[in-house]
Amino acid sequence: MLDPLPGELLCYGLLVILCGRIFFIKGEKIVSITVLAPLVLLLSVLQIVAWGAGLPELIILLLSILTFTANIHALVRFFQHLYVDRYSPLFYIASVILLLCTLAAAAGTVCFRPVPSRPADFGVTVQKKLLTGSVGSGFTVRSHFREKNTGVLWTFTPSDSTTMKKTIIIFSPDKRADTARYMPYLLLLAQAGYPVITADLYSPGVRWISPFFDTSPLRRSAMIYLSLQKPDVFEALGRNFTGNMINEYSALIDIGTHLFGSATRFFLVGDGMGNGALKAVFEKYPYQAAGVWSLDAVGEYKTAGYGCIEQTAPVLAAIFGMKRDSSLFIPRYMALKTRQAVTGKGGVK
C-alpha cells in the first residue's frame, strides 16, 4: 500500500463510532465500545510511524488523544467490570464537539487526499526493502528483525523487461520530501524504461537537524517547518547538507553496483539540497556516473525541494497556493526533461 488514506479513514471511522454512540445507545449505556478509544490512539501513532508526522496524521493523533481523554471514566468502569454507565451532560457536549471535528477533518482529508499512483497502472514494478547499516560502513538489506532499520531502498523497474534501458537512474530526494513525494515522477521514468534506484536513509551519526528530529517519522515535517517558518535556521543547517548528500549518493552507487553489476552506468538526479553534491559525485565516480541532472532546472516545477506535492501532498500544495492535480502535468514534464538529459543532453547540469 502506497497511500495513507485507508489507515486515516479507519481511524476516522472508529472515532465516529466512539463519539457518535451517544445517538444510537439510549438509556443505560453499555461501555464495552469504549475499548476502541485506546485502539484508535494506537492506530494514530502507527500511522505516524508508517507515514510520518504529516498534518492529517497529527490531526488524527490530536483527535484520538482528546477522545481517549473523554472516555477515561468509561474505560475505568469497563476494566472494573462495571459494564453499564450513564453519560453526563459534559460527556454529551464533548462527544458532539469531537464528532463534528472528526467529520470535518475526515472531509478535509478526503478532499485533499493524494492522487493515486498505483505502479500497475504505469506498467511498473516497485520493490521496497528495509536497510541496515550506515554511510560509513555501507548498507545491506535487513535480514533479521533484530537488526536496526536505518533506511528504505526503493527500486522502480518496467514490468516488461524488454523495454528496460541500460542506464540506471539514481535519485536522492531532498529531505523536505521523501521518495513517496516524488512517486508519480519516478513511476513515469520507469514507465519509459529507465530503472530507478532511490532510498530514504536515516543513517546513525549523520546529522541533518538533531538526533530526535532525524528520525523517519519526524525529519520531513521538521524540515518543512524550518524551511517555511525559520529559513535562517534552515540555511544555517544547510552547511551540512551537501556533505551528507554526497555520502548518500555514494551509498546508492554502491547499492546500484551490487544490484546491477560493476559495469553499470548511473545517471544521477537530484533536487534542491542535493544540487551541491551532484558535481562532486560526478567527479568522484568518473567511470560509473553517466551524467547528472537537477529537477529544479525545470522552470515549471515551482516546488523544488518538496517533491510532486500537487499529487502527493495536496495540503502542502495548498499552502503554496496550488491545487490538487490528477493530470500529473508537472511530473510528466519533469520525467520528459530528465529523459532528454539522459539521452541527448547529459553531462553536468
Residues 170/272/58/226 CA torsion (nearest 10 deg):
140
The predicted pLDDT at position 345 comes to 54
List pLDDT tens digits, range 278-326.
999 999 998 899 999 999 999 999 999 999 999 999 999 999 999 999 9
What's the rounded Cα separation, in Å, for the pair 331 and 302? 12
Which segments in the chain show pLDDT lower than 50? 1, 27-28, 346-349
| Strand-strand pairing, 151-158 and 124-134 | antiparallel
Grid cell locating 192:
519509459
Prediction pTM value: 0.88
Domain ranges of the chain: 5-111, 119-343
* Residue range 119-343, CATH number: 3.40.50
The predicted pLDDT at position 348 comes to 46
Grid cell locating 176:
523536505
The predicted pLDDT at position 81 comes to 67
List pLDDT tens digits, range 118-135.
999 999 999 999 998 887
What's the rounded Cα separation, in Å, for the pair 249 and 54? 26
